[in-house]
Structure 1
Amino acid sequence: MRHEFEVREEIPLDATPEQVWEAISTGPGIDSWFMGRNEVEPREGGIVRHSMMGRSQESTVTAWEPGKRFSYRTGDNPDGTFMAFDYLIEGREGGSTVLRLVHSGFLGEDWEAQYDALKKGDGMYLHKLAAYLKHFPGRTSTFNTLVPGPQVPDHDRVWTAFKSALGVTGELTAGTPVRLSVPGLPAAEGVVERTDHPSVPSVCTADALYMFMHGYRDTVVVEQHSFTDVDGAAVEQAWKNWLAAAFV
């Protein structure tokens, strides 16, 4: 049985409508804050292709109004489930923007866990978008990766592991300075832009944006978007090793 759902989010962004449009409606822009690799055919009826971990999904652009509205819908799965995304951009005085997202569709048998993950994840990704626009204006990601780890039901254990990776021994809140310390990755100083215990939606260093997420069915996930040249294979392996060691 399928179940209808809708998630509504709204966020103020310290960026112009043009900057927000580039970030949400172009492949390089989406790659710089969202998961996977993305391609967008810029027209109504065009194709949006999302690829991650060896799988690809195509959606159809249902609204294309540059600087104002971008919407797309996946095709129907055999069970009738699908997802649709509708982004509305509203410019404000002083060059800022309000972005509204309506994420809707039908979920399948595991709908309650999926819906809970979407309600949490949609907001976290919009805050990650805000961090990208604040810290990396005019830049796009050269490499991004999502590395899933084990399922860990203990929230406090996950929070402690995230703090350790960030070199934080005291309280972890927005504005907390960090020193990323993960074997196999260069040490880097940065700042926490957003926390949502037991997840950390956005951490920014000079050249990278990170997300530490306790997500769907308690899966631990790390994401990194690099804005300088890196050895992608080495970055992925370093995070796999860290996840394996942190949650033995």
Structure 2
Amino acid sequence: MPHPFEIREDITVEATPDQVWEAIATGPGISSWFLGRTEVEPAEGGRVRIEMPDWSSEATVTAWKPGRHFAYREDENPDGTFMALEYHVEGNGSSTVVRFVHSGFLGDDWEDEYDALTQGDRMYLEKLGVYLKHFAGRTATFTLFETRENIPRERAWNALRTVTGLGETVSVGDKARITVDGLAPAEGVIDFARLPHWVGVTTDDGFYAFMHAQDSVVIEYSGFGDVDGPAIERAWQSWLTTTFA
């Protein structure tokens, strides 16, 4: 039986309402910090399409007030489950407040799914903040890598600490050095963290999100400028396969 849910979050970002709108309500903007490749038809009743390597999602725009309010509702599944996302944008001097609502109906394992969404929603808002602070108006090459095996949390974070050069404790502002075979080492800084769930590292040309979620290791990368997406994918997939064999 579908179970109703609602998650509310907000974040203050270093950007104008127009910059926020471009990031949350256009295909190139959303694709630069959220999930996969996104297309948005810019009008109430328009369609939203999100494409990932192993799944896709389609939705309908339910609110379109440029610079103020954007919302969409996914198409309902045969079992009655669906999700809806909503953004309210409020200018606040030199910054902007983004109020986010994630709602809908979850399936039979709703408790685990709700816990995962609670962590994920906060992380993606933090990614939005990093994008607007460092790369506003630019379009990223987005790549995602993950393990399919059940990886214990301690093992996952021991490996992630090694590849990022982080210590046992992690704080925003800490330095990081990402070293993975096949790619040049990259110096970075921690811009967001909530261990043992996720940590975000910003480099000169992009930002990473490293996660341990639902017993899997997940790495997302948004790269800007001259990015060799296939080389990045090969390097990280090789690291995941070798590290968690």
TM-score (ref. length: structure 2): 0.96
**Contact map agreement 2:208 2:221 (CA 8 A) in 1:** yes
How much does 1:180 deviate? 0.8
Aligned partner (choices 182, 185, 192) of residue 184 of structure 1: 182
Matched-pair contact (CA < 8 Å) for 1:152–1:158: no
Q: Report percent identity of matched pairs.
A: 53
Aligned position for 2:101:
102
Residue number among 196, 199, 205 corresponding to 1:198 in the alignment: 196
Counterpart of 1:233? 230
Q: Name stretches of at least 5 consecutive residues in structure 1 with no aligned partner.
A: none
Cα shift at 1:200: 3.1
Contact 1:211 1:222 survives alignment (8 Å)? yes
2:23 touches 2:137 (CA, 8 Å); kept in 1? no
In structure 2, the residue corresponding to 1:139 is in which secondary structure?
coil
Quickly say closer, same or farther: Cα 1:80–1:124, change in 2 above 3 A: same
Q: Report Cα offsets for 1:45-101 as digits up to 9, x if no partner.
A: 0010000014322100000000000000011100000100110001102x2011011
Letter in 1 for 2:48: V
Aligned equivalents of 2:97, 2:29: Cα separation in 1 = 17
SS of residue paired to 1:53:
coil
1:158 corresponds to which residue? 156
Comparing 157-166 and 68-77, the one that deviates more: 157-166
Partners of 1:35 and 1:145 within 8 A in 2: no
Separation of aligned partners in 2, 1:200 and 1:186: 23
Q: What are the residue-to-residue correspondences of 1:1-248 with 2, within 5 Å? A: 1-93=1-93, 95-141=94-140, 143-169=141-167, 171-215=169-213, 217-248=214-245
CA drift of 1:121 comes to 0.4
- d(CA) in 2 for partners of 1:233 and 1:225? 13
TM-score normalised according to structure 1 size: 0.94
Structure 1 runs (4+) deviating above 6 angstroms are none
Asked if 1 retains the 8 angstrom alpha-carbon contact of 2:36 and 2:52, the reply is yes
Task: Give per-residue Cα distances to partners, 1:141-190, cap 9 Å, x unaligned.
Answer: 1x111111134453222222111111224532111111110111221111
Unaligned runs of 5+ in 2: none
Aligned partners of 1:179 and 1:152: how far apart in 2? 27
CA distance in 1, matches of 2:137, 2:176: 24
Q: Contact (CA 8 Å) 1:173, 1:195: kept in 2 or not?
A: yes
Q: Which amino acid aligns with 1:230?
A: V
Q: What secondary structure is seen at the aligned counterpart in 2 of 1:168?
A: coil
Given that 1:158 and 1:198 are in contact with CA atoms closer than 8 Å, whether structure 2 keeps it comes out as: no
Q: Deviations over 1:98-157 (max 9, x none)?
A: 10111000011221111110011000110111111111123221x111111134453222
What CA RMSD, in Å, does the superposition of the two structures yield over aligned residues?
Answer: 1.3
Aligned residues: 245
